[in-house]
Amino acid sequence: MSCIASDSSFYTGKICLAPMVRAGRTPLRVLSLDYGADLVYTEEIVDQKLLSATRKENHILGTIDYCIEDDVVLRIASERERGKVVLQIGTNNGESAAKVAAMVGTDVAAIDVNMGCPKPFSIQGGMGAALLTQTDRVKEILSSLVATSQVPVSCKIRVLDDPSSTIALAQFIERTGVAAMGVHGRRRSERPGDSNREEEIREVVRAVGIPVIANGGSTEMETHEELLAFRERTGASSVMVARKALSNPSIFRKEGIYSMDTEIKNFLQRACEWDENYTMTKYVVQRMLGGEQEHDPRGKATVQAGSVVEICRAWEMEDKYEECRAARQSKRGDRVEKDET
Ligand code: FNR
């Protein structure tokens, strides 16, 4: 068993951006760190997808990119995210999970396995919440990751229908040697609107020795203090936030939350800086807008926008977009010159 993979101190006392497909990419992760998050999870990436990607050092952006042709599957801001980015994978077997660990090495600060996603795509593929009832698979996946990973390993579960089964599962997971575990206090059949089972998270905290990262509290928090209060109620060492951090990433700011306007502009600034694509940029801005998409003229313009520059224009951020594009172009020119001399 590798000591690094089981290093619980990495996950102790942390406030985290939870994994979110389409949203948990470089711009939102960097913004969350800038606001005060300690750790940031990537969106879930299925093992086979990552294994078919090619690793490239992007000297223009200062990132490490894993790409499938033009599609950036994973982009890590080398300096800004060093020691803070947790790669979340979707997997149904130990061999592929271990291959991912070997592939990413120390490009990421930790690796997490998604064991909570209830979507048909995950369940049918034997991933996500399908693993909650397959302890042999859980053991195989986590043990192979713990044996091969050069960084701490964790997993993220949901609570089971019977609280005593959740505890048995959590203790079983702990014995695989993982460093920590995220616990979302909703059952597989429950929806985001159902209330979060904080007491069941608390019972897991009492039953295991490794740090628990409490999750599921977004609907109960409007301020940073309420985020901390959620952690307090569960007794967990750490906490991870998804939906609230998507609509209001400044939930991570001790100094207070920002208005929607500022959130969107600050996000767009990072989207320009990290050269995020149109689909992902638009998705996050729309989530920040929520119901304002129909009322705010900038919201309507965002919905109609067909490119990142058009989204930026709607928010009077076109200059920032152009500035970042020009900076990249000039760096590209410099590199061509360097390569030729
Ligand atoms: C999620 N969630 C999620 N969970 C996970 O383990 N991997 C993932 O990739 C995703 N993707 C994702 C996308 C979006 C848009 C949302 C809203 C949620 C679930 C998420 O991490 C979290 O467990 C739940 O949202 C409950 O936490 P909150 O929202 O109450 O803080």
Q: Are 193 and 168 in contact (CB under 8 A)?
A: no
Q: What average pLDDT does the segment 40-56 reach? A: 98
Asked if pLDDT for residue 2 goes beyond 60, the answer is no
This prediction has a pTM of 0.97
Q: Is the CB of 47 under 6 A from ligand 1?
A: no
Provide the residue ranges of all domains of the chain, joining segments of one domain with +.
4-252, 260-340
pLDDT band for position 340 (cuts 50, 70, 90): low
Q: Is the CB of 16 under 6 A from ligand 1?
A: no
Q: What is the pLDDT of residue 337?
A: 72
Percent of residues, the chain, with pLDDT higher than 90: 96
CB hemisphere CA count around 130 (13 angstroms): 15
Asked if pLDDT for residue 58 goes beyond 80, the answer is yes
ipTM score over 0.95, yes or no? yes
Cα–Cα distance between 6 and 10 in angstroms, integer? Answer: 9
Asked if pLDDT for residue 319 goes beyond 70, the answer is yes
Q: Does domain 4-252 have CATH number 3.20.20.70?
A: yes
CA-nearest residue for atom 8, ligand 1, is 20
pLDDT band for position 341 (cuts 50, 70, 90): low
Look up 16 and say whether it is catalytic.
no
CA distances from 102 to 26, 108, 130 (A): 22, 11, 25
Q: What average pLDDT does the segment 316-327 reach? A: 98
Phi/psi at 8 (5° precision): -70, -20
Catalytic pick from 16, 117, 155, 312? 117
Q: What is the pLDDT of residue 272?
A: 98
177-193 residue pLDDT tens: 999 999 999 999 999 99
Q: Are 172 and 139 in contact (CB under 8 A)?
A: yes
Q: Is the CB of 18 under 6 A from ligand 1?
A: yes
Q: What average pLDDT does the segment 201-223 reach? A: 97
Q: What is the pLDDT of residue 20?
A: 98
72-116 residue pLDDT tens: 999 999 999 999 999 999 999 999 999 999 999 999 999 999 999
Asked if pLDDT for residue 37 goes beyond 80, the answer is yes
Q: Is the CB of 20 under 6 A from ligand 1?
A: yes
pLDDT band for position 64 (cuts 50, 70, 90): very high
pLDDT band for position 333 (cuts 50, 70, 90): confident
Name residues whose C-beta falls within 8 Å of residue 157's C-beta, 6 or more positions apart in sequence: 115, 116, 132, 166, 169, 170, 173, 181, 182, 183, 184
Q: What average pLDDT does the segment 132-148 reach? A: 97
Cα(2) to centroid(ligand 1), Å = 29
Q: What is the pLDDT of residue 334?
A: 81
* Category of 216 on φ-ψ map: left (φ > 0), alpha (ψ -120 to 50) or beta: left
Q: How far apart are the first and last CA of the chain?
A: 48
CB-based burial label for 252 (10 Å; 0-12, 13-18, 19+): buried
The sign of the dihedral angle between the CA atoms of 308, 313, 315, 320 is: positive
Name residues whose C-beta falls within 8 Å of residue 271's C-beta, 6 or more positions apart in sequence: 27, 280, 281, 284, 308
Q: What is the pLDDT of residue 335?
A: 75
pLDDT band for position 339 (cuts 50, 70, 90): low
Q: What is the pLDDT of residue 317?
A: 98
